[in-house]
């Protein structure tokens, strides 16, 4: 059986509180009642609690764009898992390539963040992906393997139900260049096999792996038709309710 799809909008550093609430409400209107898919929205920290309140009645997961591993303390600039929950959130994006590339987050740091999320029962959306340079050097699988193994170090099989992976090739993020469906499927199949090697086949079969990087209304259907693509993590096209609505309501193949 195919896994429940997850269509996730990462709003990055966009939207004032009122803009975010309006967008969330408009997105909620686009969500039909599906049993086979769920929707996640990741507003900026400042808008988390208002967005959660605005869509309280809707079946949408509210997600933070990062998370610290400690409940509280001297961690200037960070947000704790408890604060995310207090704001009405239940998930956190971890290891986004912008955190890795612009803010220098290492695999070790990302591992701590993921463990923090899991310890406080948040869903962790773990992002991985190679740069163009790494792909051209033929290192894609090696890079993915290191990122996955290091991020999941110490994460137990029983916690994997709260982990969603997102394969986001860095060269496809915000560039308009989507990985072809074949390239994406190949990477997803590799990641799933890796999860089976680290844990077991059953866990790999249940783990959702989203694709991210220039997902648009025009390419979502063919991406979602791939056997190992279980959803999308969407940046630019998630900032507009109509385009994200079309992505949420992707057409099922077959």
Residues carrying an active site annotation: 96, 168
List, in sequence order, every beta strand (DSSP E) within 188-250.
Answer: 209-212, 231-234
Residue 235 lies near ligand PGA (rule: CB under 6 A): yes
Query: How many angstroms separate the first and last alpha carbons of the chain?
Result: 14
CA atoms 176, 181, 187, 192: torsion sign: positive
Residue 140 lies near ligand PGA (rule: CB under 6 A): no
Residue 215 lies near ligand PGA (rule: CB under 6 A): yes
Distance CA 50, CA 172 (A): 31
CB of 9 to ligand PGA, least distance (A): 9
Residues contacting residue 4 through CB under 8 Å, at least 6 positions apart: 36, 37, 38, 208, 230
Query: In terms of CB distance, is 43 or 212 closer to ligand PGA?
Result: 212
Query: In terms of CB distance, is 10 or 80 closer to ligand PGA?
Result: 10
Q: Judged by CB under 6 A, how many residues of this single chain contact ligand PGA?
A: 13
Query: In terms of CB distance, is 99 or 112 closer to ligand PGA?
Result: 99
Residue 233 lies near ligand PGA (rule: CB under 6 A): yes
Distance CA 176, CA 217 (A): 12
Distance CA 136, CA 116 (A): 34
Distance of CA 243 to the CA centre of its chain: 18
Region binding ligand PGA by CB under 6 A among candidate stretches 100-108, 151-159, 199-207, 231-239: 231-239
Distance CA 242, CA 226 (A): 24
Query: In terms of CB distance, is 152 or 233 closer to ligand PGA?
Result: 233
Of residues 159-188, which lie at the interface with ligand PGA (CB under 6 A)? 168, 173-174
CB of 233 to ligand PGA, least distance (A): 4
What is the contact surface with ligand PGA in residues (CB under 6 A)? 10, 168, 173-174, 212-215, 233-237
């Amino acid at each position: 059986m195919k896994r429940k799809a997850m269509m996730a909008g990462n709003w990055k550093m966009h939207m004032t509180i009122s803009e975010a609430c309006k967008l969330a409400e408009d997105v909620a209107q686009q969500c039909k009642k599906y049993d086979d898919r769920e929707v996640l929205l990741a507003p900026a920290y400042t808008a988390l609690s208002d967005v959660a309140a605005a869509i309280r009645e809707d079946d949408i997961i509210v997600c933070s764009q990062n998370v610290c591993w400690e409940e509280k303390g001297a961690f200037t600039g960070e947000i704790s898992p408890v604060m995310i929950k207090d704001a009405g959130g239940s998930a956190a994006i971890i290891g986004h390539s912008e955190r890795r590339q612009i803010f220098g987050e290492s695999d070790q740091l990302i591992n701590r963040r993921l463990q923090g999320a899991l310890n406080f029962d948040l869903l962790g959306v773990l992002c991985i992906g190679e740069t163009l340079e790494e792909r051209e050097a033929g290192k894609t699988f090696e890079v993915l393997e290191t990122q996955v193994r290091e991020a999941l170090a110490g994460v137990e099989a029983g916690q994997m139900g709260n982990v969603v992976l997102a394969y986001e090739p860095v060269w496809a993020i915000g560039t308009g260049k989507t990985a072809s469906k074949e390239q994406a499927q190949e990477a997803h199949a590799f990641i799933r096999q890796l999860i089976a090697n680290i844990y077991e086949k059953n866990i790999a079969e249940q783990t959702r792996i989203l694709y991210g990087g220039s997902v648009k209304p025009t390419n979502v259907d063919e991406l979602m038709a791939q056997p190992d693509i279980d959803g999308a993590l969407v940046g630019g096209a998630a900032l507009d309710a109509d385009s994200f609505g079309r992505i949420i309501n992707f057409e099922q193949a077959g």
